[in-house]
């Protein structure tokens, strides 16, 4: 790569920005001759699929969108997928347990029910209790090609539950990783990983198979260890001219540590976990301007545990939770002349749950939904672009809803894009919120019933949450400086917050229903808030060996909810990657998180964290590999999600070693 010319003045905006944010930052200006053309730099700007279901340059996307590419994924040194979202402005990552990660955007809670997460377009959002069980995804971080992250509501493209953002994890094509790979990792807290991947071609298509074993000891003061065995397959099959089929399979089995020594009704015990999926994607290129895509997938997640209690020696209760999703969809994309494109489609879905603890029955419960969606991109003039889309859906547990969005872009030249937009999004209640009939039955060691207590009984009156969002965006690039700047200003009206009554003994905050037993809690809509703020990301390719990434978000909340500071008011991340000669790489990531009060989890103090990775690539007898040392939190211990006092989830300094060999 040709070294880019940078004048001293080009380093000053970053220094000034860091000063305004309240942090000291020293960046030595790099001045060198450069002749990298504008076309070369713009060719590096990614296209995205997740914002509108159309393949678009970032400049044209109707939402602020970030791409975490393969280089960033590797340089981070993270072995948990959820940790990667520390690289995105406005996203908060927290751990309630060693294996229980929460990824949120503007609304932080343990389950993060308000973000839609997909893997290759397949939703992994849980229909049971909501959110994502990141620890149950049968996916290796080595098999991720890139991640597209939409910052803000995207229900107009992917329906309810794409409420405050959307994450689409895009895996690596078998043709891009042909050969074999071994990846071993070990480190503090009894962390151990072993991965093997094979990818190759046959006369019928291309294949990628990954096998893995992952173990971790969790937090020091919790019983939250993890063990998982993982299988993942992706096959790509060309059928005939313009037709192709993609097949994906995944499975995971393992155990998790659960419970707490502080809760007499939930003492430490193991949780058995099994998850799996099947996904089929069919594409037919009808012409250069028309494409038909069909998708089918089936998700399965089952957890089971025998929960010991201290009510009586040997007493226990059973906790099992089955969640399944069967989904079919089709979409048709076409060009509308030379200035417009459109995509239209429909989906059918069945969510299935079963749990005696959560719904007081051994029978499966089903909830069906279907919907229609469409999006039009129109360029009436070279400098103007219009994006209009909507998603209509019918979910049998609530009324029908339409989620619309409209944006207007002004692009005075290819390097700068200004956007203004408005959208309406909804989050449907998950089945535990809409249909809960949770009764805890404690048994004696001989199987006789000791006590039965109603816990959460839904009255069925809960409505979807809603979000009206107005935002302004700007994306600018300066090719001669290797600089990209992304800004989002937003104002969001959040209403109908789905709230659970206070614990036993506290005030009843939901209207008392005649169907709710005395002492039980219920779900209801209570309160809302006005959220406004800004998010920025600056990428600076200093030269062919150095790159800098600066993220910052500022969030102001005016809320009628009890936890009025439910997300960090300020978050900043500063990342530096440097390539030394002889295949040596160094990356540093510094985070500053302001204190807040996550929903239902108590106050979380401000903290900072420094992560580092030092890696060396090598070649032996024609085999390529690398060894890396990774440090997380090179500083004082801090509290992640604070569920108790004194806190049990204290994140201390940790070190890991990674060894990878490709052959």
pLDDT at 643: 61
> Rounded to the nearest 10 degrees, how much is the dihedral formed by the CA atoms of 117, 427, 155, 144?
0
Contact between 383 and 415 (Cβ < 8 Å): no
| pLDDT confidence bin for 513, thresholds 50/70/90 | low
Q: Is 538 domain-assigned? A: yes
Whether 259 maps to a domain, the answer reads yes
- Specify the pTM: 0.92
Question: What's residue 649's pLDDT?
Answer: 84
List, in sequence order, every residue forming a beta bridge with 547; answer none if it has no partner.
541, 577
In a domain, 445, yes or no: no
Cis peptide bond prior to 646, omega within 30° of 0: yes
Q: Given a cut of 80, is residue 584 above it in pLDDT? A: yes
pLDDT over 50 at 240, yes or no: yes
Helix (H, G, I), strand (E, B) or coil at 89: coil
CA distance 118 to 106: 19
Mean pLDDT across 386-399? 96
**DSSP label at residue 512:** P
Find the Cα–Cα–Cα–Cα dihedral 259, 261, 264, 270, rounded to 10°: 30
Q: Cα–Cα distance between 662 and 195 in angstroms, integer?
A: 12
Q: How far apart are CA 610 and CA 478, in angstroms?
A: 29
What number is the average pLDDT over the span 404-415?
Answer: 97
Q: What is the mean pLDDT of residues 166-180?
A: 97
Cα–Cα distance for residue pair 306/338, rounded to 1 Å:
62
Encode pLDDT of 287-322 as tens digits.
999 999 999 999 999 999 999 998 889 999 999 999
Backbone φ and ψ for 446, nearest 5 degrees, come out as -85, 0
Q: What is the pLDDT of residue 600?
A: 76
Which CA distances in Å does 628 have to 298, 365, 624, 656? 37, 48, 14, 8
Asked whether residue 523 is domain-assigned, the answer is no
Residues linked to residue 439 through DSSP beta bridges, in sequence order: 454
- For 44, 180, 202, 243, 605, the CA distances from 176, given in Å and listed in that order, are 18, 12, 15, 20, 44
> What rounded mean pLDDT belongs to the chain?
90
Up-side HSE of residue 32: CA atoms within 13 Å toward CB?
14
Q: Which residue, 375, 133, 142, is CA-closest to 254?
A: 133
Burial of 176 (0-12, 13-18, 19+ CB in 10 A): exposed
Inform me whether the pLDDT recorded for 526 exceeds 70. Answer: yes
What's the domain range around 250?
Answer: 8-428+464-496+528-662
Q: What is the CATH number of the domain that holds 307?
A: 2.40.170.20
Whether 354 maps to a domain, the answer reads yes
Q: Identify whether 628 is part of a domain.
A: yes
- Which of 644, 559, 567, 557 shows the shortest CA–CA distance to 601? 644
Locate 633 and state its tokens.
């939190």
User: 52 and 375 in contact (C-beta within 8 Å)?
Assistant: yes
Token pair 């106050």: residue? 603
Cα(294)–Cα(284) distance, rounded to whole angstroms? 9
Kindly report the backbone phi and psi dihedral angles of residue 195, in degrees, each rounded to the nearest multiple of 5, phi listed first. Answer: -130, 140
Which are the contacts of 71, defined by CB distance < 8 A and separation ≥ 6?
Answer: 577
The residues facing 247 across adjacent strands are: 235, 280
Q: Torsions phi, psi of 588, nearest 5?
A: -125, 135
pLDDT at 660 over 90: yes
The pLDDT, as a whole number, for residue 544 is 92
User: If you write DSSP's letter for every residue of 351-391 in order, what string do you get?
Assistant: EEEEEHHHHSEEEEEEEEEEEEEEEEEEEEETTEEEEEEEE
Q: Give me Rg for the CA atoms of the chain.
A: 25
Q: Which residues contact 535 (CB under 8 A, 6 or more apart)?
A: 64, 89, 90, 151, 487, 488, 490, 551, 552, 553, 554
Question: Which candidate, 284, 242, 11, 225, places its Cα nearest to that of 97?
Answer: 225
Least confident of 15-19, 305-309, 622-626: 15-19
Number of domains forming the structure of the chain: 1
Q: What percent of the chain has pLDDT over 90?
A: 78
The answer to whether position 227 is within a domain reads: yes
C-alpha distances (whole Å) from 582 to each of 546, 569, 579, 615 are: 15, 42, 9, 11
pLDDT recorded at residue 5: 34
Q: Whole-angstrom Cα distance, residue 69 to residue 67?
A: 6
Cα–Cα distance, 279 to 160 (Å, whole number):
21
Pairing of strands 654-662, 523-525: unpaired
Task: Please tell me the distance from the alpha carbon of residue 548 to that of residue 579, in angstroms, as a whole number.
Answer: 12
**Section 492-502 average pLDDT:** 89
What confidence tier does 33 reach under pLDDT thresholds 50, 70, 90? very low
- Close Cβ partners of 22 (under 8 Å, ≥ 6 residues apart): none
Mean pLDDT confidence for 83-111? 93
Q: Characterize 18-50 residue by residue with b for buried, 16 or more Cβ atoms within 10 angstroms of its Cβ, and e for exposed.
A: beebeeeeeeeebeeebebeeeebeeebeebbb
Residues in the chain: 663
Asked if the structure places residue 293 within a domain, the reply is yes
CA dist., res. 277 & res. 473, Å (int): 37
Return all residues near 207 (Cβ < 8 A) that are at least 6 apart. 174, 198, 199, 200, 201, 233, 234, 235, 236
- In 10 A of CB 310, how many CB atoms? 12
Please check whether residue 509 is in contact with residue 502, taking contact to mean a CB–CB distance below 8 angstroms: yes
Output the pLDDT for position 508. Answer: 60
Tokens 């909804």 correspond to 426
In this predicted structure, the answer to whether residue 18 has a pLDDT above a threshold of 60 is no
Cα-flanking dihedrals φ and ψ of residue 553, to 5°? -135, 145
- pLDDT per residue over 131-166, tens digit each? 999 999 999 999 999 999 999 999 999 999 899 999
With residue 20 as reference, give the H or E element that holds it: helix 8-21
């Amino acid at each position: 790569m040709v070294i880019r010319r940078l004048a001293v003045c080009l380093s000053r905006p970053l220094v000034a920005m860091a000063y305004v944010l309240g942090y000291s930052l020293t960046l030595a200006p790099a001045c060198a001759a450069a002749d990298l053309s504008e076309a070369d730099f713009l060719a590096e700007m990614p296209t995205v699929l997740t914002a509108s279901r159309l393949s678009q340059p970032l400049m044209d996307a109707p939402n602020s969108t970030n791409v975490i590419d393969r280089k960033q994924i590797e340089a981070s040194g993270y072995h948990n997928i959820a940790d990667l979202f520390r690289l995105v402005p406005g996203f908060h990552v927290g751990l309630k347990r060693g294996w229980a990660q929460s990824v949120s955007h503007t609304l932080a809670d343990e389950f993060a029910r308000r973000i839609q997460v997909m893997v290759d377009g397949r939703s992994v959002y849980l229909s049971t209790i909501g959110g994502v069980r990141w620890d149950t995804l049968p996916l290796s971080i080595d098999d991720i090609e890139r991640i597209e992250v939409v910052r803000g509501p995207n229900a107009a493209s992917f329906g309810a539950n794409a409420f405050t953002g959307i994450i689409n994890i895009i895996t690596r094509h078998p043709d891009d990783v042909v050969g074999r790979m071994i990846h071993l990792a070990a480190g503090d807290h009894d962390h151990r990983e072993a991965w093997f991947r094979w990818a190759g071609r046959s006369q019928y298509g291309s294949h990628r198979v990954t096998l893995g074993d992952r173990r971790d000891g969790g937090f020091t003061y919790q019983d939250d260890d993890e063990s998982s065995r993982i299988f993942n397959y992706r096959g790509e099959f060309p059928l005939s001219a313009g037709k192709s089929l993609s097949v994906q399979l995944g499975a995971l089995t393992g155990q998790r540590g659960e419970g707490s020594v502080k809760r007499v009704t939930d003492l430490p015990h193991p949780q058995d976990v099994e998850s799996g999926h099947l996904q089929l994607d069919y594409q037919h290129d009808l012409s250069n301007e028309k494409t038909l895509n069909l998708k089918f997938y089936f998700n399965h997640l089952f957890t089971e545990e025998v929960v010991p209690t201290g009510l009586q020696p040997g007493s226990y209760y059973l906790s099992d939770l089955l969640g399944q999703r069967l989904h079919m969809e089709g979409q048709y994309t076409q060009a509308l002349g030379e200035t417009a494109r459109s995509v239209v489609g429909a989906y059918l879905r069945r969510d299935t749950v079963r749990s005696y603890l959560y719904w007081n029955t051994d029978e499966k419960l089903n909830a069906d939904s279907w919907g229609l969606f469409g999006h039009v991109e129109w360029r009436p003039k070279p400098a103007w672009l219009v994006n209009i889309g909507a998603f209509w859906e019918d979910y049998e547990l609530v009324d029908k809803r339409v989620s619309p969005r409209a944006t207007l872009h002004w692009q005075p030249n290819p390097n700068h894009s200004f956007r203004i937009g408005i959208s309406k999004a909804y989050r449907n209640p998950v089945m535990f919120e809409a249909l809960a009939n949770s009764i805890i039955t404690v048994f004696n060691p001989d199987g006789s019933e000791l006590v039965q207590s109603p816990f959460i009984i839904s009255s069925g009156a809960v409505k979807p949450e809603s979000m009206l969002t107005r935002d302004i965006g700007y994306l600018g690039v300066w090719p001669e400086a290797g600089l990209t700047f992304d800004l989002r200003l937003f104002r969001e009206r959040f209403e109908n917050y789905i709230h659970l009554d206070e614990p036993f003994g506290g005030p009843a905050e939901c209207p008392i229903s005649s169907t709710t037993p005395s002492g039980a809690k219920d779900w209801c809509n209570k309160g809302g808030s006005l959220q406004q703020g800004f998010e920025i990301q600056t990428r600076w390719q200093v030269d062919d060996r150095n790159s800098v990434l600066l993220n910052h978000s500022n969030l102001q909340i005016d809320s009628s909810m009890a936890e009025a500071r439910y997300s960090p008011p300020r978050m900043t991340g500063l990342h530096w990657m440097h390539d030394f000669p002889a295949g040596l790489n160094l990356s540093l990531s510094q985070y500053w998180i302001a204190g807040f009060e996550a929903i239902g989890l108590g106050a979380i103090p401000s903290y900072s964290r420094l992560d580092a990775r030092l890696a060396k690539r090598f070649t032996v007898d024609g085999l390529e590999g690398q060894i890396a040392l990774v440090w997380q939190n090179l500083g004082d211990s801090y509290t992640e999600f604070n569920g108790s006092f004194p806190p049990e989830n204290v994140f201390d300094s940790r070190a890991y070693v990674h060894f990878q060999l490709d052959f």
